[in-house]
Amino acid sequence: MSTFEKEYQEKLVSAEKAAEIVKSGDFVDYGWCVTTTVAFDKALAKRMPELTDINLRGGILLWEPEVFKIENPEKHFTWNSWHSSGLERKLISKGLGFYMPLRYSEMPRYYRDGGAKVDVAVMQVTPMDEAGYFNFSVSPSHMMAVCEVAKKVIVEVNKNLPVCQGGFEHAIHISKVDMIIEGDNPMPAILPAPTPSEVDMKVAELIVEELKDGCCIQLGIGAMPTAVGSLIAKSNLKDLSVHSEMYVDSFVEMAKAGKVTGAHKNSNRFRQVFTFAAGGKEMYEYLNNNPEIMAAPVDYVNDIRTISSIDNFISINNAVDIDLFGQVNAESAGPKHISGAGGQLDFVLGGYLSKGGKSFICLSSTFKTKDGQLKSRIRPTLQEGSIVTDTRANVQYVVTEYGKVNLKGKSAFERAKLLISIAHPDFREKLKEEARKLGIWKD
């Protein structure tokens, strides 16, 4: 038995034993997205009724943790989300949690500077390798920073998680781990790929025609970025690169179609870089021990300096709505929380600073309310309570199914005129009227 194997056995405990270290008033980090704890969560759920004032942290939940299923959970803990999935939106609306506004790239520093108290950190990892390391799998994200400041570090081993090769901070050594749990080895959670609509495909076509051989792609989550990836896979583009906050199914489709080589990438040449991944079974299999993959911490991947150093960088992200001044909301429906800041602003800024780079904000021109009313996503001003994700000074291209416009350097009137030109025809005259009232229109 090697020294590491001996240490492994000494630190190996049941999930129930690990959960015993949590006490009332503790802050517990629950992992991130696909690597959110499972076995520890089940054990803590059994204990939670005897605890109070617990603060749990995590984000992009793909399933409902067991702790949320106990009776009167709000009396025992608060869920604190760094970025919210649909499930978390429901939890927040019920008063079981809150979103914590922060640029995703800033999270590691926030932890390391002492901003986040961490009594217990727990996350799923891959089995220990011969050198004594547990791989953070598809979620290196901010995990190393969390572990560095945590009073206790618990890893939950899952044999079915893919091993994602990296450059740094993609794995933790057993010497830095306090407890090891061997869970039930669940398969990685599936994030179903959205089915693009006709509108999504039209927007994607307008974006793809702006791309050229050798550019580097970042895709956000959603049907429109998925449509972009699918069109790229079917296009004549070649020698593309990948550097993206989130790795999604579309990148696998592009790579398997031979579109991704990384040959012209300024940094991390030939490697596809990301900070977390979520998707389907095919994607997880593709990522596993693939030397072309580089899973790295978010303060590197999303750093504006890193992004802007890559020539011909293309940033593609969604928005909820935009106003005639060019302010983009990608986080809320009025005051109602949807997702979070994430890395959108970093990629909008970094994309434009990149030599030959471009940043695209895409959205459908309209949406329907629950009672069937058609509403414009291009608004005179953002709805009261809406969050400004990207300020008007940051935005470059905006794309709807009716066209694409470049707002950089444009006056208030020019912006309004351009945005109205890509609004749904049924709303253009009304938007002009509102623009006049706002003093940003001339006849």
* pLDDT tens, position by position, 264-315: 999 999 999 999 999 999 999 999 999 999 999 999 999 999 999 999 999 9
Which is the catalytic residue, given 66, 169, 245, 253?
A: 245
Q: Rounded to 5 degrees, what angle do the CA atoms 34, 36, 39 make?
A: 120
CA atoms of 412 and 377, how far apart (whole Å): 18
Output the pLDDT for position 250. 94
| Per-position b or e across 2-15, b if 16+ CB within 10 A of its CB | eebeebbeeeebeb
Active site residue 245: yes
CA atoms of 390 and 412, how far apart (whole Å): 16
Q: Which two tokens stand for residue 387?
A: 């969050």
CA atoms of 288 and 298, how far apart (whole Å): 20
DSSP string, 136-184: -TT--TTHHHHHHH-SEEEEEE-TTSPP--BSSSSEEEGGG-SEEEE--
List Cα–Cα distances, 442 to 121, 374, 435, 437, in angstroms.
58, 27, 9, 11
CA 343 to chain centre: 7
Output the pLDDT for position 221. 83
Q: Is the pTM of this model over 0.85?
A: yes
Output the pLDDT for position 94. 87
Output the pLDDT for position 161. 98
> Which class does domain 3-182 fall in?
alpha beta
Output the pLDDT for position 220. 83
Taking alpha carbons only, the member of 273, 30, 238, 317 closest to residue 154 is: 30
Q: Which helix (H) or strand (E) holds 225?
A: helix 223-234
CA 36 to chain centre: 14
Output the pLDDT for position 75. 94
Taking alpha carbons only, the member of 34, 59, 56 closest to residue 139 is: 34
Please, are residues 411 and 417 in contact by the beta-carbon 8 Å criterion?
A: no
Taking alpha carbons only, the member of 42, 36, 39 closest to residue 68 is: 42
Output the pLDDT for position 231. 95
Taking alpha carbons only, the member of 194, 309, 209 closest to residue 249 is: 194
CA atoms of 112 and 350, how far apart (whole Å): 24
Output the pLDDT for position 235. 95
CA atoms of 425 and 401, how far apart (whole Å): 11
> If DSSP states are collapsed to H, E and C, what string results for 266-315?
CCCCCCEEEEEECECHHHHHHHCCCCCEEECCHHHHCCHHHHHCCCCEEE
Amino acid at 146: V
Q: Where are the domains of the chain?
A: 3-182, 198-438
Q: Let me know if 104 is exposed, middle or buried by CB neighbors in 10 A (0-12, 13-18, 19+).
A: buried
| Pairing mode of beta strands 97-99, 120-125 | unpaired
CA atoms of 34 and 243, how far apart (whole Å): 20
Output the pLDDT for position 375. 97
* pLDDT tens, position by position, 101-150: 999 999 999 999 999 999 999 999 999 999 999 999 999 999 999 999 99
Instruction: Specify the CATH number of the domain 198-438.
Output: 3.40.1080.20
Return the CA Rg of the chain. 23
Please, are residues 175 and 147 in contact by the beta-carbon 8 Å criterion?
A: no
Q: Rounded to 5 degrees, what angle do the CA atoms 331, 335, 340 make?
A: 20
Q: Which helix (H) or strand (E) holds 73?
A: none
Output the pLDDT for position 1. 65
One digit per residue, pLDDT tens: the chain, 443 residues?
689 999 999 999 999 999 999 999 999 999 999 999 999 999 999 999 999 999 999 999 999 999 999 999 999 999 999 999 999 999 888 888 999 999 999 999 999 999 999 999 999 999 999 999 999 999 999 999 999 999 999 999 999 999 999 989 999 999 999 999 998 999 999 998 888 999 999 999 999 999 999 999 999 888 888 899 999 999 999 999 999 999 999 999 999 999 999 999 999 999 999 999 999 999 999 999 999 999 999 999 999 999 999 999 999 999 999 999 999 999 999 999 999 999 999 999 999 999 999 999 999 999 999 999 999 999 999 999 999 999 999 999 999 999 999 999 999 999 999 999 999 999 999 999 999 999 999 98
